[in-house]
Structure 1
Amino acid sequence: MKLGEVEVTKVVEWAGDIAPIRSVLPDTPAELWRDNQSWLAPRHWHPEADAYHAAVQTWVLRSEGKVVLVDTGVGNDRARPQIPLFDHLATDFLAGLAAVGVGPEDVDVVVNTHVHYDHVGWNTRPDGDGWVPTFPNATYLIPRADAEWFDPRNAHRRAGVDPLRLRGSHLVYTDSITPVLDRAVLWEDSHRIDGNLVLEPAPGHTPGSSLLRLTSGTDRAVFVGDLLHSPVQILEPSYSSCFCEDRALAASTRTRVLGRAADLHELVIPAHFAEASVAEIERSGDRFAIRAWRDDA
């Protein structure tokens, strides 16, 4: 789609069922899903298996003559013991990029909204016994707070984290972050990419979780990363996912971001919504509602 002068394209790396829905969103009541089943199923929830249905995808933005990737998925050939579903994944993601006219050397900017395995994987590719940047001409934009939080040298800051999850995040850092640090900008507070695009903090899911605002002409959008995992969090922003490091802060950030999006008519573009993935929202009392899907399949 075209938003002002910015062209936005979605490239899906993987889509499918991940886990039981209330293991992903543990505080959500059964009636919330049941009352909204008519539109949540089957694109976001498979009720027959009570399964969370989602996608891992990258947004390709063409803005002011540059190619910008927003999040880079899981990546191939990686040890991911913390989530066996994506352990040593093998997809044709690069072919998907090529199909929309983007080769690795064409990418100017890579945005990692946060440092989780499914947002940084294609930062790199295997090369012999190590890893090298997949996008050799790109600047990688990584929130400093996450670069520091997930650095294995700072593991003592994450006391109490499940050992398997901790080991998994160390592997992610080693194969997907360390190899690009020499070409990365570790930003804080905010970072303007160009006249249309600016990164801002959106903490809670991780300490450095961020969003990307797009403003071009009269069009506005906000790429919210993992601030949202399911559309039910638009209806009930207080519900955070099991993946959030600070659930209360994530809920507060989500409410704030959704409020601005409703007031300023920003399209809301989360990382993992499958099929229908670009939402127009509006206020509904002290909560929010989905007015329409811009890319409704």
Structure 2
Amino acid sequence: MGDRDALRRPAGVRSVHLGDTKVSYVPDGAVRLRPRDLLPDTTGEVWEGHPEFLDESGSLVASIGGLLVENGDRALLIDAGFGPRSWPPAPDGPRGAIHGGALLDSLSALGRRPEEIEAVALTHLHSDHTGWAWHPAPGTDRPAFAHADYLVSAQEWARRDLAEAQEVAGLAPRVRTVTDGQEIFPGVRMRIAAGHSPGHAEYVITSGGQRLIAFGDALHSPIQVGHPAWSSAFDHDPVHSADHRRRLVAELTEPGTIGFGVHFADVVFGRVRQDGDRPAWLPLDA
């Protein structure tokens, strides 16, 4: 991996062109994660052997944001960040300090206003993906995307009891459920990739003979690409999650396929290539 510091900092705005479609990472904030708590099957020796993944505090740095998909005048947002708020580190478990708040400024830097987003497609209902979809925008009493449809897999919405009640209540008036394989935007299809949550969704974007898989929280860190059996402590069903991750990693090795890892520090866009006896994440700008 070329720029090793990229694994220790949150991602900035990044864009990729797929034929007539432009996809851009829209930063909102970041979260620090305790690596052994996040990936319980790892050991201290694993992380001692991979110091490039850890910042000066020994934490994994995970980006938080969304993916802007533009086709002509139309625009779709996949995931809505954490919103304009911050939480201190949890006393135990994987999560360190987390903050959001930059997503609207990031959209503006990409030349888009919130009212131009026709739909917000959610990979799942965790708070670091739904923030701006329900949290009031600064200076208002309404969410920034209150005019848009919120697209959620039918399986995920059926188990909304597992999400934060306040957030679900904020989303409910705008939710439109979608089914496995459904096209939600030109060249964009939702598919179920359950394991991280009951109805976790991935979005497959196809244009210009290329394919991009926005795989949400099926992978939290590039280190999992070489070790797909390592499930996250946040996974609802770790066994199912690992099974899916093995298939996903294999799919990402296929020609013309790009991955988008929303939490992948400053290497959110990449391909999977063989590195010795294991697959590895190769950032697009490496």
TM-score (norm 2): 0.83
CA distance in 2, matches of 1:270, 1:200: 16
- Which one of 30, 54, 67 corresponds to residue 44 of structure 2? 30
Q: Does 1:56 align with 2:64?
A: yes
1:52 to partner: Cα distance = 1.2
Q: Is the 8 A contact 1:263 1:282 kept in 2?
A: no
- Which one of 159, 169, 193 corresponds to residue 149 of structure 1? 159
Greater Cα shift, 75-84 or 53-62: 75-84
Q: Does 1:3 align with 2:18?
A: yes
Please tell me the residue identity of whatever aligns with 1:6: T
Pairing 1:187-266 to 2, within 5 Å after superposition: 187-266=178-257
1:5 to partner: Cα distance = 1.2
CA distance in 2, matches of 1:271, 1:119: 10
CA distance in 2, matches of 1:84, 1:233: 20
Secondary structure, in 3 states, of the residue corresponding to 2:234?
coil
Q: Is the 8 A contact 2:76 2:185 kept in 1?
A: no
Secondary structure, in 3 states, of the residue corresponding to 2:272?
strand
Gaps of 5+ in 2: 1-15
Q: Does 1:45 align with 2:35?
A: no
Q: Is the 8 A contact 2:258 2:269 kept in 1?
A: yes
Secondary structure, in 3 states, of the residue corresponding to 2:157?
helix
Please tell me the residue identity of whatever aligns with 1:202: A
RMSD over equivalenced CA pairs, Å = 2.7
Q: Is the 8 A contact 1:111 1:141 kept in 2?
A: yes
- Which one of 170, 176, 192 corresponds to residue 179 of structure 1? 170
1:101 to partner: Cα distance = 1.3
For residues 62-111 of structure 1, give each alpha carbon's deviation from its aligned partner in whole angstroms, at most 9, with x where no partner exists.
0253111111111125889976834xx56243122112111111101111
Give the direction of change, closer, same or farther, for the CA distance of 1:55–1:193 in structure 2 (3 Å limit): same
Q: Is the 8 A contact 1:124 1:131 kept in 2?
A: no
Please tell me the residue identity of whatever aligns with 1:12: P
Gaps of 5+ in 1: 156-168
Give the direction of change, closer, same or farther, for the CA distance of 1:81–1:34 in structure 2 (3 Å limit): closer
- Which one of 74, 77, 99 corresponds to residue 66 of structure 1? 74
Equivalent residue for 2:97?
85
Q: Is the 8 A contact 1:222 1:267 kept in 2?
A: yes
Percent identity between the two aligned chains: 28
For residues 194-235 of structure 1, give each alpha carbon's deviation from its aligned partner in whole angstroms, at most 9, with x where no partner exists.
341101000100011111101101211100000111111100
Secondary structure, in 3 states, of the residue corresponding to 1:115?
coil
Greater Cα shift, 74-83 or 232-241: 74-83
- Which one of 93, 111, 135 corresponds to residue 145 of structure 2? 135
Q: Is the 8 A contact 1:71 1:119 kept in 2?
A: yes
CA distance in 2, matches of 1:224, 1:104: 23
Select the structure with the greater relative contact order (CA < 8 A; seq sep ≥ 6): 2
CA distance in 1, matches of 2:65, 2:211: 21
Q: Is the 8 A contact 2:25 2:65 kept in 1?
A: yes
Q: Is the 8 A contact 2:34 2:96 kept in 1?
A: no
1:179 to partner: Cα distance = 2.9
For residues 20-41 of structure 1, give each alpha carbon's deviation from its aligned partner in whole angstroms, at most 9, with x where no partner exists.
211111111333333344xxx2
